[in-house]
Amino acid sequence: MTIQPSKVWFITGCSTGFGRALTEAVLEQGEIVVATARKPQQLKNLVQQYGVGQSPAIGDRILVLALDVTQSSDIQAAVNQAIATFGRIDVLVNNAGYGVFGAVEEVSDVDIRRQFETNVYGALNVTRAVLPHLRRQRSGHILNISSSGGFVGFPGAGIYCASKFALEGWSEALAKEVAPLGIHVTIVEPGAFRTAFNGTLVVPHQAIEDYATTSGQMLQWLHQMDGQQPGDPKKAATAMIQVVNHSNPPLRLVLGADVLEVVHAKLEAVAADLAEWRHVSVNTVFEGAAVSAIGG
């Protein structure tokens, strides 16, 4: 019988939420985690639990590193140390992120840029740092943690949704680029899970009254749901591990019945618009021009 070697997981944003739950679940499975966070001291108990090795930051199956995904020097240093310690990275999980909420007109320029620096450029830069190692191995799996807001735009979440739409856009393209190299990409779209997310939202300093019934109601709902979300982060972690271990993983993994409902509703609405306006869509080409699918 062939014994499969333990996978090495590189996970960002491990101090709380999905990152913490996934780190614990992977360790319980007997695999190896490079657990990164802006506040690595919050992971001290995991290092103690899974055995301290040659230094206080390195356990038998866990390496805890400080990483701010908005800092390119941090990213390269963390990836280099992971490779130097374990020799490979098998699974990259881009989990670090947060939410800027409020009507599009209400959100400040500074908050918009910070949102994209973390949710889009942070994940992108970590991925670009890890990809050379995955290409060399001709294997690997990238999990990009998106959101229901990465597939459906919600009032009061325009900037957050824009960052997740961007994440999904380059993830979908990347999946096609790396598939011939033996590398998988999965976009994870969670719904309302009981993490600290709702309690750490960045919101406008001054609300505009005209958006009270749209953006305002969304913010109110998010605050009311804090601590009451139906989703269990531990079960989400189990689902992600299941996808990584599958021979034919999906491009998108929807987590939560709430997300399934809104995704189906959007698909139906898009299909209805396409059908109703098809005659306009197809009548925009030069007479006699050949038409082929984009990228085909």
Q: Kindly name the residue from 7, 147, 164, 215 that is annotated as catalytic.
A: 164
pTM of the model: 0.92
* Section 236-254 average pLDDT: 97
The answer on pLDDT for 150 being more than 90 is yes
Half-sphere exposure of 256 (CA within 13 A, CB side): 20
Q: Kindly name the residue from 7, 15, 146, 215 that is annotated as catalytic.
A: 146
Q: Where are the domains of the chain?
A: 8-257
- Predicted confidence at residue 1, as pLDDT, reads 37
* Section 32-46 average pLDDT: 90
Strand order in the sheet with 32-37: 52-55, 58-59, 62-66, 32-37, 8-11, 91-94, 140-145, 183-190, 252-255
* Section 204-215 average pLDDT: 94
- Is 146 catalytic? The answer is yes
Asked if the 8-257 domain carries CATH number 3.40.50.720, the reply is yes
Q: Kindly name the residue from 160, 163, 211, 215 that is annotated as catalytic.
A: 160
- Predicted confidence at residue 58, as pLDDT, reads 54
